[in-house]
Structure 1
Amino acid sequence: MIIRQFFWVFIASVVLMASFACSDSVERRRMGQAEGIMQEHPDSALSLLESLDRDMLTCDYDRALYGLLYTQALDKNYLQIENDSIISFAVDYFRANGDEERLMKSLYYHGIAKLGIGNYPVAVVLFMQAMDIADRIGDKFWAGMSARGVADVYTETYNSSEELMYAEREYENFKAAGIQPHLNFALLDLERAYNNMGDYNKACEMCEQVEELALSTGDTLLHENCLRASITAYIGNNESEKSVEKIRMLCDNGWSTLEDSTYMVVAYSLLGETDSATDLFNKISCLDSLRYNFAAYHLTKAKGKESEALKNLEILHELSSRIVRINMNSGLISSVADYYKLSNESVRRELEISNRLFWCSLVIGGLVIVILGFGIFILIKRQQKATEDKILFAEQLQEMHDKNDRVSIESNKKIKELLASRYGLLDDLCVIVRGNDVKSAKNKIVDTVSSLINGLSIDGEKIRELKQEVDTMHDGLMTDFEKDLPGLKDADYCLFLFSVLGFSNTAIALLLKEDKINSVYDRKRRLKDRIRQLKDQEKERYLSFL
């Protein structure tokens, strides 16, 4: 008895030591506070995270969570993500530990980091991986965010048709999520995609729609971006006077930039106001060559200087071609190779984590074996424990019967009929339990319960009878379940059947002949994952019984 108590104390100590490294701490509580205020007060969240002592984050979970939250805070505060190693660690950790929600967010912000440094192939893969997870778990908001990331990559790499496809996907997901101001900005992203596709009429219509939304909601950031998007849309739609109007609105609100002046030169040139265009053009020589030559071409063309206009057009064409070639040679074409490189790196890191876990498990296992050497006599009582489990099973069956008896008169009648016609064995068992306490009676109970369990084995006739009873009481539940989820193991079907009948996990473990009750929990978890892939109506129906 003393050795047995010592054994359980040892096991508890091992578990305690294993969990000590990841116990609650000041750092973890601060990260929880930062996560809670991230959406509404990202600046405060960033300050909280920067106040943490990273050397105190000794647990892998804490380091991964910090990497996710810190990168998220940088992005929400419009700061450049200089180092993506901490978010890369978060991706590896949450992938290895099956935390899909945080893995989805980590993949997204890792994509943001790669997008910021111009690594478009890796960025688009990360965004797509995040989007796949969001679609799988039904998170419309993050599906929209990930689609926006993909659309941004295609914008930067001049893939207009793909940009439009993912901008539409972004809008549909945000529309389903119903979260503002993301939905309004999704409309603006959609306008940009139509503009880049050359559908200027559609782009102008969407600009007007977004501007109305910005004015009605008082969203100045949305209004500023909408005005800037309107400039090129109206120029492309041969409405240069409206383009000038939008640029002046930017100036009046103090939002104008030198880049906006480029389009003002173009608009003035298209309107024939060459003097105004010339005065403004002389002030924008500091702009990059592409925008400068774009404005120069329209100005010289408006002045009738055809040779100069042709020269500027040739320069503009060469610059544009150079950008296209750069994106073709080192852009998304190499995304597949980068994807496999990223995958191999993840596998390598997962292997390192697995090796560490293996050696830790080996050490702990060795200690357990040593202690088990002192407690070997416990195995002798294994049969006694099995007998007690079966007696407990019989008592639970009786308790289940009593509970169902109180539910309703109709249920009571069906249970009594079931007991009278097909389960007389349980009545005999209960008589034995109430009338015998000696060892021979216990052995008889073991034999009786063993007979019952064998009769309820996975391929037994009684299983089919129980399925028919469940179909009768629950409108064809078992038939529908087997139809909606074909190809499951027989044990999975029986697990669902016994759960519908209200059997405890201990009873189910005995019926399925599992050595450990944890096997039942694992099987039930996997079954729930399969059920969650069904439509909402079927999913809710089946999950209500598990």
Structure 2
Amino acid sequence: MKNKPVLLLLLFAVCLFSCREDAPSQALLDQAKAWMNEHPDSALWLLENDILPERLSARQQADWALFLTQARDKNYQTHANDSLIRLAVNYYEKQPNPERLMMAYYSQGRIYQNNGDALQAQEFYLKALDAGGTDHAILARICNNLGMLYTYQEAYELALPQMKRAIDHLQQIGDSASQAFVLRDMGRTYYQMDSLEQAIASYQQALQVASASSRASVMQELGSCFIDTQQYDSAYVYISAALQNSSHFHRSFPVYLTLGKYYIEVGNTDSAHYYLQKSLDSPTKNTRASAYYHLSRIARQNQQWEELSLLKDQYEALRDSITEQNHAESIRRMQHLYDYKLVENEANLYKYKHLASQRKMYVLILSSFLIAFFCLLLYIYFHKKHNEWVDRFQSLLNKLEEKEQEKASNKERIQDLEESLTMEENQEDDLFLLEKQILELKNSLIDLENKEKQELDALLHNTSIYHFYQNTANLGTITNENKMELIQTIDMIYPAFKTTLTRILPVISEKELELCYYIKAEISQANISKISAVSVSGIAMRQKRLLDKIQNRGFDANDLKRVIRAIY
């Protein structure tokens, strides 16, 4: 009794460790969510390696599917289809959780958008808006993505309202970095509509809130607008500033192209030729195509006809290539494509910076103790149920053995009585006869109790698959279809066989389960060896391991075949 508190403490520690190692923990899902924006690679590894979805509850499986979709998206992994996120969508559609439903619809829309299915993406973005969520950051992304989809479809009158809504949501959370991207997209949309004054206003608003990484592209496009409105002084100021802010080598090529256009318009063809030649080193086809086009303008002005012909050929070759790859998208639209991941990363850069580490620790400790306490209660409950079931099954085995022994003893006594009746003729003959009849009646009752099992065994013996396996000539031709037919036949005749077996042995391998079915089908050890392509000694070792497992579960059993054949 003195050791009881120590044993309970050890049991509590084992349960806590088991929950952490074997069962999916809500804490792991929460950690993956916390890492999602700043450390998406760590979140992806955690979700793919540390969590077993088959052990999760329905709600946790939905969260896991949603988080895994987001993590793959943030790690630039493509999705072949939306089967994973559909798990989350199907669950959240039946639950009163508008925030998660909105995020699930948004993630499903992202998958379709990345796979080039604009209409499907648009449908799920609209569903996300109707879900009723209030997270301004997610709502801003949805509205902006909708706006870009409408822009690509040239539905500008639908695109602009969505972009304005995105800006409203971003202003609610003070996300200036993302506002700059949306305002830049608005400028591009106005440019497509030939509303140059409104495009300039949008670009100028974007500059006021743009981060250092996005200022160069905004200033370059603003300079291009000023060229089109013939405000060359302003154009030069912004294009020069864009060139100074282009810290990345590849981001300089569009600026070189715009600067070349500027010098053509102001009549400085030498400088124009210099910058257009530099832009030809761009890895982007549409930038090179535009450069060849403007170089051909210079060649035409200078009446350099041979060079003009070569430049036009190169321009047309690139133009045809771009048309084939993008199915009639214009060069201007191609320049408007940008990395959506950058928007999400900058929008969420500071989202978790103000979370208190002490609060996280307290929440984690409290959650761990609650989970451990719950697991302890579950262990006590299921352990009690298991012991009760073990006692019942052991009692059944003991009764079967006792009845067999009683029947054998009765047969011996009946035989003795018959001999006595034939050898002796006295007044005790009637008593001997009566005792013999009583013993025969007891044996009849035992036979009646065994009749149901014998009838089931007879059904099995009359099946074609049973005879197929008993025929040794067939052992070398056993297929997976034959194995499945045998298993299905046994399950049909003995419906409780597999359930009872797995209750006796909760941890049982496929090979061990298959061995139990062979024993139930009365296949000899030598024939099982031939079917399984395992030595006879190997089959014997498997049988011994199974018997050891049964004994370790608390059963008093010395014969594996007897235990298995007793199950019906």
TM-score, normalisation: structure 1? 0.46
